[in-house]
Amino acid sequence: MAKPLDYESLNENVKKTAYAVRGELYLRASELQKEGKKIIFTNVGNPHALGQKPLTFPRQVVALCQAPFLLDDPNVGLLFPADAIARAKHYLQLTSGGLGAYSDSRGIPGVRKEVAEFIERRDGYPTDPELIFLTDGASKGVMQMLNAIIRNENDGILVPVPQYPLYSAAITLYGGSLVPYYLEEEANWSLDFNNIRQSIASARSKGITVRAMVIINPGNPTGQCLSEANIRELLRFCFLENLVLLADEVYQQNIYQDERPFISARKILFDMGPPLSKEVQLVSFHTVSKGYWGECGQRGGYFEMTNLSPKTVDEIYKVASISLSPNVPGQIFMGLMVNPPKPGDISYFKFEQESKAIMESLRKRAHIMTDGFNSCRNVVCNFTEGAMYSFPQIRLPARAIEVAKSAGKAPDVFYCLKLLEATGISTVPGSGFGQKEGVFHLRTTILPAEEDMPAIMESFKKFNDAFMEEYEDYRGYSRM
Amino acid sequence: MRRFVAEKAKRAVSSYLLSSLRSHPSPSLSSSPLKFYSTAAAMASKLNPPVTVDSLNPKVLKCEYAVRGEIVTHAQRLQEELQTQPGSHPFDEILYCNIGNPQSLAQQPITFFREVLALTDHPALLDKSESAALFSSDSIERAWQILDVIPGRATGAYSHSQGVKGLRDAIAAGIAARDGFPSNPDDIFLTDGASPAVHMMMQLLIRTENDGIFCPIPQYPLYSASIALHGGTLVPYYLNEGTGWGLEISELTKQLEEARSKGITVRALVVINPGNPTGQVLAEENQQQIVEFCKKEGLVLLADEVYQENIYVDNKSFNSFKKIARSMGYGEDDLAVVSFQSVSKGYYGECGKRGGYMEITGFSADVREQIYKVASVNLCSNISGQILASLVMNPPKVGDESYESYMAEKDGILQSLARRAKALEDAFNSMEGVTCNKAEGAMYLFPRIHLPQKAIDAAKAVNKAPDAFYAQRLLEATGIVVVPGSGFGQVPGTWHFRCTILPQEDKIPGIISRFKAFHESFMSEFRD
């Protein structure tokens, strides 16, 4: 008898979904690692996995919240500074029974208030904690919003290409249509409004109702920081085309140049005043996984809704309540991130030191990596202005492309597998993120330890230049 | 059509106005003269915003979850009123008996678990000699063991998408020790609580509204909500209240035939054991019949076993469905079983941690690949919850330093739960027109109220289900929050409510007396 759940009888949307970040390359790298090969995992923005240390203060606070009986112990001061102790008490008081109780399905009200205060400080405009929902990581929030918006395959979502493949995966899972808009690599991955207008027109001519537009700023995998002008034009565009803007701003702390600091879409929206500030619907996402915190494993995130009707907010609340509540430790990490130690606090100096060291090192590594790639044959790489990734363009020779195709592999997958086998560097091929036809990239992170970077770039250069030599036609025969 | 054209025209006007503004650039729109713009604005504000309730995913609109539904919102309002206007209600506090959230009602966490979690959350503590004075030696040892299986000891890193391998090894060992049959760590998917795992399975199983999932009635409304969210059809099978919420194969057969005759392909059978809201623990024989039924009819068995550690009667014990299947001689080729477990219930009650797993058996490799792929989109579940799941499945053993205090805490909680279950059961059974089956397990009582016709009419007059009407009156008179039976499903024409057994033991007598007083006055008002 046929099994009750076999491949054929699976939900089609599940089968169509792809998520390359933990796809073929990662699985192959894991296999090789099991066989004893040293692998450098640069496939996912996972700082602590590459040696970045957690910030001390938040870990102290959460440890105390996990074990509140420590607070009663006379020796607690030997292990924990007074401000960590005070902060743990503060958060425990905000919960309805400590870390082990389900909170409000939108998150602990006191923490949401801290998030609202952070947003107000950052942007200069007040916001309502009732419109801020904490989630188990930003990804869950993105999925909740897309699930709420997408009714059927005629609902389209504008997504940048290249994009972080959570968006394509979620759109496929929920049965919607991805409407791509191409970022301009030659113009530093900036928005090309002509292209966006063409995409939307093309989708509409196929009967697709374009509902929302995703923007990732700073960009993933592309690393660009959008200019204020770009964001303004984007908001006007959403207003005119009647789109809700989904602003993925999870890398807002990761900025490695000074020309274009991070400005939130919400701030610019409010700067633009009515009617846009009252009409444009916006959902902004943030997380504790990135920045200089890098606390991926905690699964802490939030989304903030602007100009969504109370009834819509209620429906989203209803869906959130089915999962009861986001994890409480992750919520406390979020509270700590938006409300870190201040000058004068006992832990401030150490916290600042730790944070600065990470940020300065990330900035350095962004440069080391970009320069390293640019020194390689047939490789061109835009500077990583923000986020955690480098997305070099690999100009594959025609013969390499042929060999890849006859091996049944996309050319960049072929290249990345060879890179992995030769050097142990595990990347994600550009096809996992989307790219222009015939243009190939790979995504790597800038996260390997600073002291390991030069050797990694050297290893890459050695492999790449040898690969190019092997596959470039005019050298062909004599080498054989 | 006219509206479409009108909208297009409005947008065209706005676009023209904006582009003319663009040709006179100004640093910020708000500072430029906006005479023309305000006309466009007036028109634009009449455009339908892209996201309104009318344009939301209809599956989102359709789904419901009564556990945190209307009665709870009402209770929260009353709670605020108690704070701003003390004395405004005939009670001092709201008692939330609507949700299985033990630690929100002062249940204490298990010390050993929290010690280990504090150490793994802040591993720097393990390098300090002072820690030996604050933490038990076995919690320190366990923390080291756990950190040793986490690559780089980095508890802040995303793990493998199924969860840290070493933790899955520990959980598999715990399952094997519990069942006496081996468990494969690669069958385990650690998730943020059991609920996301349930959603994952529904997503895989449901292709269209012609795919049906068998659910017990009454059921925990995660199932009905998840099926609605994924666009499938809930196929009910009624538990028999008269026989202690027994599950009858004849009922399953009848409902299956009916569903199939309507063109529904029934894909899976959900069994909640111990039951929620009904609290029954299935007899082994019953479980065997269910296994046979699933095998015969080609159904995936979805076994919600989150209350496996909540058993209050001596004549019943927990048997996992996998164990039952294996002891019947059925292996991976015979039937597919998915078991769900959570850190939220039992005696540990760690709801806020969002820890849990599903163990999947009997699926082909290509199906397992798809399950992995869906799990990978969310990267991984929270690490602290993963660690806790491994602790729950591998608690302190005889001889460990913490064993005795751990057992004292565990027994204390479970025995108290058993006492509270009995006290409330007896109280409900003593009320006029109320019958209540025993809570053999889980955390709830689900009494049946035989409502007088006058009450039913009064409910209809205010457009409420009779049990919701009763629950609201109860709340307004006593501050006690229960969930109306209609939130879980019940035989039509019968009325119930679900009340947890979780308020602290010293509050139970007060709850019982207030409940009884309310009930008497309600019956006086509405008695036929």
- Within an 8 Å CB–CB cutoff, is residue A73 touching chain B? yes
Coil, strand or helix at B180: coil
Give per-residue pLDDT as tens, A427-451: 999 999 999 999 999 999 999 999 9
User: What pLDDT is recorded for position B7?
Assistant: 52
- Within an 8 Å CB–CB cutoff, is residue B196 touching chain A? yes
Q: How many CB atoms lie within 10 A of CB A262?
A: 17
Give per-residue pLDDT as tens, B393-438: 999 999 999 999 999 999 999 999 999 999 999 999 999 999 999 9
User: What pLDDT is recorded for position B472?
Assistant: 97
Chain A residue with the nearest C-alpha to that of B59: A151
| CA-CA-CA-CA dihedral for A433, A438, A444, A446, to nearest 10 | -100
On whether both A105 and A223 belong to a single domain, the answer is yes
Answer yes or no: is A476 within a domain. no
Contact B482, B468 (CB under 8 A): no
Strand B211-217 and strand B95-96: the pairing is unpaired
On whether both A159 and A202 belong to a single domain, the answer is yes
> In this predicted complex, what is the ipTM?
0.95
Q: Alpha-carbon distance B140 to B146, whole Å?
A: 10
User: What pLDDT is recorded for position A50?
Assistant: 92
CA distance B327 to chain A (A): 21
| Domain-ending residue, one of A338, A373, A399 | A338
Give per-residue pLDDT as tens, A110-148: 999 999 999 999 999 999 999 999 999 999 999 999 999
Contact B343, B389 (CB under 8 A): yes
Answer yes or no: is A350 within a domain. no
Q: What are the two backbone dihedrals, phi and then psi, of residue A215, each rounded to the nearest 5 degrees?
A: -130, 135
Amino acid residing at B34: L
Q: Alpha-carbon distance A300 to A58, whole Å?
A: 13
Angle at B319 between CA B98 and CA B351, to 5 degrees: 30
- Name the domain count of chain A: 2
In this complex, do A62 and B121 lie within 8 Å of one another by their Cβ atoms? yes
Contact A413, A15 (CB under 8 A): no
Chain B residue with the nearest C-alpha to that of A277: B30
Q: How confident is the model over B298-305, as a mean pLDDT?
A: 97
Percentage of chain A modeled with pLDDT above 90: 92
Residues 460-499 of B with CB under 8 A from A: none
Contact B283, B317 (CB under 8 A): no
In this complex, do A147 and B124 lie within 8 Å of one another by their Cβ atoms? no
DSSP readout, A31-86? Answer: HHHHTT---EE-SS--GGGGTPPPPHHHHHHHHHHH-GGGGGSTTHHHHS-HHHHH
- Within an 8 Å CB–CB cutoff, is residue A77 touching chain B? no
Q: Alpha-carbon distance A263 to A231, whole Å?
A: 9
Answer yes or no: is A346 within a domain. no
On whether both A381 and A304 belong to a single domain, the answer is no
| Domain-ending residue, one of A304, A338, A372 | A338
Residues near A28 by beta carbon (within 8 Å), at least 6 away in sequence:
A417, A420
On whether both A312 and A457 belong to a single domain, the answer is no
Q: Alpha-carbon distance A213 to B123, whole Å?
A: 42
Answer yes or no: is A111 within a domain. yes
Direct distance between the N- and C-terminal alpha carbons of chain A, in angstroms, rounded to an integer: 55
On whether both A228 and A286 belong to a single domain, the answer is yes
Please name the residue that has the structure tokens 């460990």: B400
The helix (H) or strand (E) run that includes residue A91 is helix A82-94
Which residues on A lie below 8 Å from B300 (Cβ)? 4-5
Task: Work out the mean pLDDT of chain B and round it to a whole number.
Answer: 91
In this complex, do B14 and A6 lie within 8 Å of one another by their Cβ atoms? no
On whether both A330 and A368 belong to a single domain, the answer is no
Answer yes or no: is A351 within a domain. no
- Within an 8 Å CB–CB cutoff, is residue B521 touching chain A? no
Q: Alpha-carbon distance B285 to B327, whole Å?
A: 12
Nearest to B370 among A14, A289, A299 (CB): A14
Q: Which conformational region is residue A171 in: left (phi greater than 0), alpha (psi within -120 to 50 degrees), or beta? A: alpha
Q: Alpha-carbon distance B360 to B336, whole Å?
A: 7
Q: Which of B419, B451, B418 is nearest to B434 (CA)?
A: B451
In this complex, do A278 and B45 lie within 8 Å of one another by their Cβ atoms? yes
On whether both A154 and A26 belong to a single domain, the answer is no
Which residues on A lie below 8 Å from B106 (Cβ)? 97
CA distance B242 to chain A (A): 30
On whether both A314 and A172 belong to a single domain, the answer is yes
Most distant CA atoms of chain A, gap in Å: 78
Chain A residue with the nearest C-alpha to that of B366: A7
Contact A105, B195 (CB under 8 A): no
* DSSP-assigned letter for residue A224: P
Q: Which of A265, A261, A287 is nearest to A127 (CA)?
A: A265
Contacts 24+ apart (CB under 8 A), B106-109: B106/A97, B106/B504, B107/B349, B107/B413, B107/B502, B107/B504, B108/B409, B108/B413, B109/A98, B109/A99, B109/A100, B109/B348, B109/B349, B109/B350
- Within an 8 Å CB–CB cutoff, is residue A347 touching chain B? no
| CATH number where A289 lies | 3.40.640.10
Give per-residue pLDDT as tens, A319-355: 999 989 999 999 999 999 999 999 999 999 999 999 9
The helix (H) or strand (E) run that includes residue B361 is strand B356-361
Give per-residue pLDDT as tens, B250-299: 999 999 999 999 999 999 999 999 999 999 999 999 999 999 999 999 99
Exposed/middle/buried for A48, CB within 10 Å: 0-12, 13-18, 19+? Answer: buried
Q: In what order do the strands lie in the sheet with A155-161?
A: A132-135, A301-306, A282-287, A244-248, A209-216, A155-161, A177-182
**Structure token digits, residue B213:** 């999932």
Kindly report whether the peptide bond that precedes residue B218 is cis, defined as omega within 30 degrees of 0.
yes
Strand A209-216 and strand B188-191: the pairing is unpaired
Residues 100-129 of A with CB under 8 A from B: 100-103, 105
CA distance A310 to chain B (A): 9
On whether both A332 and A364 belong to a single domain, the answer is no
Asked if pLDDT for residue B325 goes beyond 60, the answer is yes
On whether both A145 and A276 belong to a single domain, the answer is yes
Q: Which of A223, A222, A211 is nearest to A152 (CA)?
A: A211
User: What pLDDT is recorded for position B48?
Assistant: 76
Q: How confident is the model over B220-249, as a mean pLDDT?
A: 95
The alpha carbon of residue A261 and the mean position of all alpha carbons in its chain are separated, in whole angstroms, by 18
Q: How confident is the model over A302-308, as a mean pLDDT?
A: 98
pTM, two decimals, is 0.93
Q: Alpha-carbon distance A26 to B160, whole Å?
A: 11
Cα distances (Å, whole numbers) of residue A299 to A160, A374, B85, B369: 25, 35, 39, 24
On whether both A119 and A220 belong to a single domain, the answer is yes
- Within an 8 Å CB–CB cutoff, is residue B203 touching chain A? yes
Contact B361, B349 (CB under 8 A): no
Angle at B128 between CA B127 and CA B133, to 5 degrees: 130
On whether both A374 and A288 belong to a single domain, the answer is no
Residues 389-418 of A with CB under 8 A from B: none
Domain range for A297 is 93-338
Chain B residue with the nearest C-alpha to that of A154: B57
Q: How many CB atoms lie within 10 A of CB A456?
A: 20
**Structure token digits, residue B471:** 């629950």
- Within an 8 Å CB–CB cutoff, is residue A359 touching chain B? no
Q: Alpha-carbon distance A309 to A177, whole Å?
A: 24
User: What pLDDT is recorded for position B22?
Assistant: 43
Q: Alpha-carbon distance A18 to A432, whole Å?
A: 8
Q: What is the 3-state secondary structure (H, E, C) of B236-279?
A: EEECEHHHCCECCHHHHHHHHHHHHHCCCEEEEEEEECCCCCCC
Answer yes or no: is A222 within a domain. yes
Answer yes or no: is A403 within a domain. yes
Residues 291-330 of A with CB under 8 A from B: 294-299, 307-309, 311-312, 315, 318-319, 321-330
Chain A residue with the nearest C-alpha to that of B191: A136
User: What pLDDT is recorded for position A20?
Assistant: 80
Chain B residue with the nearest C-alpha to that of A101: B352
- In total, chain B counts a number of residues equal to 528
Answer yes or no: is A375 within a domain. yes
Give per-residue pLDDT as tens, B113-133: 999 999 999 999 999 999 999
Q: Which of A447, A145, A187, A141 is nearest to A302 (CA)?
A: A141
Query: Dihedral of CA B192/B351/A130/A249: which sign?
Result: negative
**Structure token digits, residue A40:** 């450098």
The alpha carbon of residue B56 and the mean position of all alpha carbons in its chain are separated, in whole angstroms, by 24
Given pLDDT bands bounded at 50, 70 and 90, which one contains residue B39? very low
Burial readout B268-296 (b: 16 or more C-beta within 10 A, e: otherwise) = bbbbbbbbbbbbbbbeeebbbbbbebbbe
| Domain-ending residue, one of A338, A371, A390 | A338
Q: What is the 3-state secondary structure (H, E, C) of B28-94?
A: CHHHCCCHHHHHHHHHHCCCCCCCCHHHCCHHHHHCCCHHHCHHHHHHHHHHHHHHHCCCCCCCCCC
Chain A residue with the nearest C-alpha to that of B61: A315
Give per-residue pLDDT as tens, A222-255: 999 999 999 999 999 999 999 999 999 999 999 9
In this complex, do A136 and B64 lie within 8 Å of one another by their Cβ atoms? no
Percentage of chain A modeled with pLDDT above 70: 98
| CATH number where A372 lies | 3.90.1150.10
User: What pLDDT is recorded for position A474?
Assistant: 59
Amino acid residing at B463: N
